Structures are given as C-alpha cells and as structure tokens.
C-alpha cells in the first residue's frame, strides 16, 4: 500500500489547520490556536487509488506551524515528503510575498516538481473577498492555484484536493514501477 506524506505550509493565520481538518474530516476548530511545530493527521481515502494496482492509499498530512521560530525543524519535516500544499490568506497582502519563501524552501530546495505543489488561496468566513485574479509572480504563477471558501463552496476545495492527491499517488506509483523495472532489467 502506498503511503504519501503531504506538507501543509504557509504563513501564520492562513487557515492551514482549518483546511487540514476539513479535508481529512477531522474535528472542527472554532477558535484560532497557532500550531506549535507540526500536527500529523493520518487518513485513508477510498476514492484515491494508485492507477494500476487498485490498492488503497494512506496519507499523512503534516500541518506545519507557520511561525518562523520553527524554521530549525523544517528540514526534519521536509524529509521524504511527496507533496507540498502552500496555504495563504488572499486578503493579507504580505502573504503573497511570504509564499515565495515557502515555495523556495519547501519545493525548490527539495527538488520537488511543480506538479507536486498546490497553492490554496484560503478565504476566511465573512472575508467577503472575490476570487479576483491574484497576480502571482514567477515561478508561483506556474503552480496550480485553487481558492477555498469553506462557507460558500466547501465541495470545490475537496474536489481539487482529491485531484491533487491522485496526481501525487500516480507519480509515486510511476516512480515505483520504474524502480521495479530497473531491478528486473
């Protein structure tokens, strides 16, 4: 059975924990409580299977605290990760600058492909913001960007997250198949 490790990273107060709980169907959180270091959520998803084997997949979602004081822990968190979801609050202008650092640190320096990264512009309840065109600078503008609004359209982000998990699992099973073939030949 494949087991994928997905990191949820991004600036403080962007909504990582709320989204992580929603997407893994864990408990709801009503008040803001900054994540200290990391929280690991394990879940299985019957809708996501590796393409040819039909086996189920397990996921570890690492909800990483956004405070820079945890930076010394980041190398340990990144180890053996298969994907990175960068969550930011689209209503806070400084977040647009900050996500460039998260991308550089967690995606580029780990030699992950852009397809292994998902950007989520999280809109908090009552923010009233539109899904306006976010102007992201390169290389962020090449990444898949989805908007999440758990109040107005929770199923949209769930669907997009499923697609993302499927792409991660497909690339994992392809690389496993390549490894198996290299052993045989």
CATH code of the domain in which 64 resides: 3.40.50.300
H/E stretch holding 58: strand 56-64
pTM higher than the cut 0.85: yes
Number of domains present in the structure of the chain: 1
Burial of 3-33, coded b for 16+ CB within 10 Å and e otherwise, reads ebbbbbbbbbebbbbbbbbbbbeeeeeeeee
pLDDT tens digits for 10-27?
999 999 999 999 999 887
H or E element at residue 25: none
Owning domain of residue 108: 2-183
Residue 88 to residue 122: CA distance in whole angstroms? 6
Mean pLDDT of the chain: 88
**pLDDT tens, 119-138?**
999 988 777 655 666 788 88
H helices of the chain, where? 16-23, 74-78, 93-103, 154-184
Query: Please, which residues have CB within 8 angstroms of residue 70's CB and are 6 or more apart in sequence?
Result: 36, 37, 38, 64
């Amino acid at each position: 059975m494949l087991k994928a490790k997905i990191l949820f990273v991004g600036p403080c107060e962007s909504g990582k924990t709320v989204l992580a709980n929603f997407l893994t169907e864990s408990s709801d959180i009503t008040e803001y409580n900054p994540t200290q270091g990391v929280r690991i959520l394990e879940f299985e998803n019957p809708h996501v299977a590796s393409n040819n084997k039909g086996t189920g997949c397990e996921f570890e979602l690492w909800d990483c605290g956004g405070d820079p004081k945890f930076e010394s822990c980041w190398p340990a968190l990144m180890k053996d990760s298969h994907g990175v979801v960068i969550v930011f609050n689209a209503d806070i202008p400084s977040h647009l600058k900050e996500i460039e650092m998260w991308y550089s640190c967690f995606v580029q320096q780990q030699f992950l492909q852009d397809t292994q990264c998902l950007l989520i512009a999280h809109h908090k309840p009552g923010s009233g913001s539109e899904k306006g065109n976010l102007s992201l600078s390169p290389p962020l503008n090449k990444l898949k960007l989805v908007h999440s609004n758990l109040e107005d359209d929770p199923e949209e982000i769930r669907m997009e997250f499923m697609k993302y998990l499927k792409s991660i699992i497909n690339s994992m099973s392809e690389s496993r198949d390549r490894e198996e073939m290299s052993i045989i030949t």
